[in-house]
Amino acid sequence: MAASELQTTVAALLAPRKGILAADESLKTIGARFEVLHIAPTEEYRRAYRSLLFTTPTLAEHISGAILFDETIRQEIGGRLTPGALAQRGIVPGIKVDKGTVAMPGVPGEKLTEGLDGLRGRLEDYRQLGARFTKWRAVFVVGEGLPTPACIEANSHALALFAALSQEAGLVPIVEPEVLMDGNHTMARCEEVTSVVLNTVFGTLHDYRVALETMLLKTGMVVSGKDCPNQADTGKVAEATLRCLRRAVPAAVPGIVFLSGGQSSVAATQRLNAICGAGRVPWTLSFSFGRALQDAALRAWQGSSANVAAAQEALRHRAACNGMAVQGRYSDQVERGGLPG
């Protein structure tokens, strides 16, 4: 696959004022979210929900790409497979290719991401179905003595092999090492762990000869743990996040897309705005949010076709807010639905 085609995909994903919609929740995860709202966890309801997301009017003004789940990439929207329906609307279709996490042997609490077995063949299939990029997520727990070097190294090798195989298949890999917010750790501890993880990941990507110019990094912001009594303010989060990234991420990487990682929708947007508005960096900065884009839409929908328009407006609004944040132009006025100053 010519590098030029991968570069075209990268450029489309990093289009100005846009970000990526992560709609790749596993059956278990989306089922749990449906259960809270008393929505039946069936394939038909999942298809209806994701269809309303992807057919939101003017969504492509703020969303450049969508990450799909295996079930979704094989479903139809308006008589076309989902990737074709997205591409027709100006949104690049992608696919989550890992198979989730399992307990890492020997270290309670740590996780290892599975999915390498048969990956080369699955990538070929996804490409034929219309995918143009891929994503693989590894998670790292912050705790006493955690994450261990063994966990970091094992997940880094999986991320690097995934990325190399994706590029071989003509697909742009999004490498996602996520340092979890769960815990009472300080922002400084999050920065320390994130730095170690990113340095290890990029060293391993180099070993596997992954072309940094045709991949994206998806990572979390440097924040205090959810249960930390002293929560860092938005300015401190932006400062620590950019300091960490400047020290760990090579300039050859074209873009970094932030995950929301359990933050509230508004908090994720506020912090994204502070990071993107803080100053010049060698990468394009954007977002790849899941819950922070979808929560309001899911609550508005409630599983009823009568609520589709309201749900789509909720999604459109959150996408627009984050589109402004990427420019460093988000404000309370924008959040309220007004025009930017």
Q: 286 pairs with which residues across the strands? A: 257
Residues 322 and 19: beta-carbon distance below 8 Å: yes
Other Cβ atoms within 10 Å of 29 Cβ, number: 14
Active site residue 218: yes
Catalytic residue among 25, 176, 191, 239: 176
At residue 24's C-alpha, the angle toward residues 23 and 26, to 5°, is 130
Active site residue 18: no
Catalytic residue among 218, 226, 236, 335: 218
Size (the chain), residues: 341
Other Cβ atoms within 10 Å of 106 Cβ, number: 9
Active site positions, annotated: 176, 218
